[in-house]
Amino acid sequence: MRPARVTAVLTTLLDGRAFAEKLGQGAPAVVALHGWARTRADWTSTLEGYDALALDLPGFGATPAPEPGPGAAWGSPEYADWLAAILEGLDRPVIVGHSFGGRVGVQLAARRPELVRGVVLTGVPLYKPPATGKPKLAYRLGRALHARGLVPESRMEALRQKYGSEDYRNARGVMRDVLVKVVNEDYTEQVAQIAAGPDLPVRMVWGEHDTAAPTWMPQRALETLGDRARLTVVPGSAHLLDAALVAALRSAIEELV
């Protein structure tokens, strides 16, 4: 691909329900999806020189949080449907997804493979890790009593702040419900759907020391995806997009655009 001059303009999509950074001067050949609690700004170095869109996913950056669905918060399927509405107006871009954004990318590739020409994933929790035990007893007791109206919301929130993960503690409103839903998702079925569908190339670029999504996850996915997929493990890198991961991601994108 011939590198395009980068021009960054905040682009409004879907009647103001989505915001993205537009890079390059041509039609987007790459659409990038950031991780949880991150924004489109994460992709500046990775997308330099490409015609691309770096999206703010709903609930992050400039894009409003999603409205809860009928009786439930959004999970990755709803995010994938939201993304599909954007991709329908584009010419089969490559999807690049980090962590949470990769969850959405996997769902999209499984549900609507005709909308993309390839997928690049990094640091995506593709499978639920082995159980590490029950929550602390104090939290379980508080949750049970709260459900019965015997513990006030203020006390329950104090327990959440004490025992919840950093992402959980920092999430607010509907985004906390979204987080709970997506961290309990497993993508075994979606990976199998991608493997059984059209010949969609998949590139997986992983940090050697990623603890949020250990390397056994892409290795297991590779067994299902077969020859359509390739895995690059970046020595010394972890979960976030450092310079070495960015370089490897750019090489993977270049293969597919």
Average pLDDT, the chain: 90
* Domain residue limits at 171: 137-176
The pLDDT of residue 22 is 95
- 3 lies in some domain: no
Whether residues 54 and 115 share a domain: the answer is yes
Whether residues 79 and 195 share a domain: the answer is yes
Whether 227 has a pLDDT exceeding 60, the answer reads yes
Whether residues 190 and 250 share a domain: the answer is yes
Q: Find where tokens 């025992």 sit.
A: 163
The pLDDT of residue 139 is 67
- 233 lies in some domain: yes
Whether residues 69 and 149 share a domain: the answer is no
42 with 65: CB under 8 angstroms?
no
User: Among 62-66, 70-74, 121-125, which is the least confidently predicted range?
Assistant: 70-74
Q: For position 216, which CATH number holds?
A: 3.40.50.1820
Whether residues 46 and 156 share a domain: the answer is no
Whether residues 68 and 151 share a domain: the answer is no
- 2 lies in some domain: no
Strand 9-13: give its sheet, edge to edge: 9-13, 18-23, 52-56, 30-33, 94-98, 118-122, 202-207, 229-234
- 4 lies in some domain: no
pLDDT band per the 50, 70, 90 thresholds, residue 119: very high
Whether residues 50 and 92 share a domain: the answer is yes
Whether residues 87 and 155 share a domain: the answer is no
When pLDDT is averaged across residues 60-77 and rounded to a whole number, the result is 87
User: Among 11-15, 62-66, 77-81, 152-156, which is the least confidently predicted range?
Assistant: 152-156
Count the residues in the chain: 257
The per-residue DSSP string of the chain comes to -PPPPP--EEEEETTTTEEEEEESSSS-SEEEE--TT--GGGGHHHHTTS-EEEEE-TTSTTSPPPPPBTTB---HHHHHHHHHHHHTTSS-PEEEEETHHHHHHHHHHHH-GGG-SEEEEES---SPPPP--PPPHHHHHHHHHHHTT-S-HHHHHHHHHHHS-HHHHH--THHHHHHHHHHT---HHHHHHHHHSS---EEEEEETT-SSS-THHHHHHHHHHGGGEEEEEETT--SS--HHHHHHHHHHHHHH-
The pLDDT of residue 54 is 97
Whether residues 42 and 164 share a domain: the answer is no
Whether residues 124 and 38 share a domain: the answer is yes
User: Among 2-16, 22-36, 194-208, 224-238, which is the least confidently predicted range?
Assistant: 2-16
- 33 lies in some domain: yes
pLDDT band per the 50, 70, 90 thresholds, residue 153: confident
The pLDDT of residue 152 is 84
Structural domain count of the chain: 2
Whether 132 has a pLDDT exceeding 60, the answer reads yes
Rounded to two decimals, the pTM is 0.88
Whether 76 has a pLDDT exceeding 60, the answer reads yes
Whether residues 209 and 156 share a domain: the answer is no
Digit-coded pLDDT (tens) for 77-98: 999 999 999 999 999 999 999 9
Residue type for 4, please? A
User: Among 51-55, 120-124, 155-159, which is the least confidently predicted range?
Assistant: 155-159
Task: Please give the residue that has the higher pLDDT: either 144 or 157.
Answer: 144
Whether residues 171 and 213 share a domain: the answer is no
